[in-house]
Amino acid sequence: MKITVIGCGRWGSLITWYLDRLGHDVSLYGRAGSRNMQEFLKTRKNDLLTLPESVNLTTDISGAKDADVLIVSINSQGLRDLFEHDLSTLNLQNKMIVLCMKGIEISTGKRLSEVVEKLTDPSNRVAVWLGPGHVQEFYAGIPNCMVIDSRHEDVKMRLVDSFSGELIRFYYGQDLIGNEIGAAAKNVIGIAAGFLDGMKLSTLKGALMSRGTREIARLIESMGGNPMSAYGLCHLGDYEATVFSPFSHNRRFGELYIKGESFEALAEGYYTVAALHRIAESSGVELPICEAVYRVLYEKADFHIEMDALFHRSLKNEF
C-alpha cells in the first residue's frame, strides 16, 4: 500500500522503518521546522535508527492526498490542529486513517478517533494501532504483539493482514472504546510507577498494577466499553513496557519528577491525566490512582502523602 506517516518522532520513524521493511511504499512527513525532520533530511538517521533510501522524506504534507493510508503519530493534544489546519485544504476522501498515538483530548474528553471522525470526510475510516513495545526493542529485532481496532471490520482485516510480520503480530481489536481508553490510561499508571521508583518503593508496583487495572476497567465500563479490555494488550498487556521498562517515557518522567529533575521527552500521561480528571468530575467514576497523580502534577500535592493515602486505601478495601 501507499502510506504516508505523519510525525517524525520516535514512533513515527519506527513505523516508517517497519512498514518499509514489509515492502510498502512509505513516505515520512515532518514539518520543515522540526529538528527531527532536519536531521533525517541530512543523515536519514535519528539517535535510534536509520531510514533506508526507499523511504521518501518530505516536508510537504500535500503528498498525503495520494496515499491509501495515513498513519498519524504526533502529540495527542495536537491532533485537532493537524486536521483543522494542516490537512483541511487537502479534502481527503476514502482514506484509512490510523492513529498510532495514545491520549484523550483534554478540552473535550473525547477519544482521539472521535476527534478525527468529526473533522474529516465520512468516506475516511479511522483505526487505532496500539499495544506494547519500544522503538529500541523493535529496531533490535525483538518482537511483540499489538492491536488494531476500528468501527469498520473490513478496515481492521485489511490493516492486520497488511501490517503483520515477524516483528509485530497484530490482533483484531473488539472494543474501540475500551482499547483507546485503556491505552491512554496506562500512561498515567506508568507515571504512578515512576513515582514509586523515585520514592524507592518499587515493590508496591504489584499493588499498583492490580489496583490500576481494576480502576481502568471501571472507567472503560462507565464510558460504554467492555471492562475486560483493561486486561488485554491495550492496558494490562502493556504494563511491562510502561511500568517497568527503562525505555518508558511515562515511568521515567514520574521517577525524575519525584527526584526534582526535568525530563525533556514527551510523556503523554501528563496530558491524559488532566483529561481523566475532567471525566471523573463529570461522570462520578472513582479513579483514585489517576486522581492522586493529577493532584501531584497539577495541584503540587505532596507525593508522599498521596501515595501513602492511596495504598492505605487499597489495603482497607481491595475491590
The domain ranges of the chain are: 2-172, 184-316
In tens, the pLDDT along 151-172 reads: 999 999 999 999 999 999 999 9
Q: In this predicted structure, what is the pLDDT of residue 309?
A: 87
300 has catalytic annotation: no
Burial class (CB in 10 A: 0-12, 13-18, 19+), 185: buried
Architecture of domain 184-316: Orthogonal Bundle (1.10)
pLDDT band, very low/low/confident/very high, at 32 (cuts 50, 70, 90):
very high
Q: Would the pLDDT of 30 be above 90?
A: yes
- CATH: 3.90.1640.30, 1.10.10.10, 3.40.50.720, 3.30.1330.100. Which one for 2-172? 3.40.50.720
pLDDT at residue 314, as a whole number: 54
Grid coordinates 495520494 are at which residue?
A: 66
Q: Give residue 316's pLDDT.
A: 52
Task: Give mean pLDDT, residues 190-217.
Answer: 95
Q: Cell 498515567 sits at which residue?
A: 188
2-172 and 184-316 agree in CATH topology:
no
Catalytic residue (choose from 186, 200, 205, 316) = 186
Measure the CA–CA gap between 17 and 293, rounded to whole angstroms.
35
Q: When comparing pLDDT for 247 and 115, which is higher?
A: 115
pLDDT digits (tens, 9 = 90+) for 104-151: 999 999 999 999 999 999 999 999 999 988 888 999 899 999 999 999
Query: What is the pLDDT at residue 264?
Result: 84
Q: Which amino acid, 184?
A: A
Q: Indicate whether 304 pLDDT > 80.
A: yes
Q: What is the pLDDT of residue 133?
A: 86
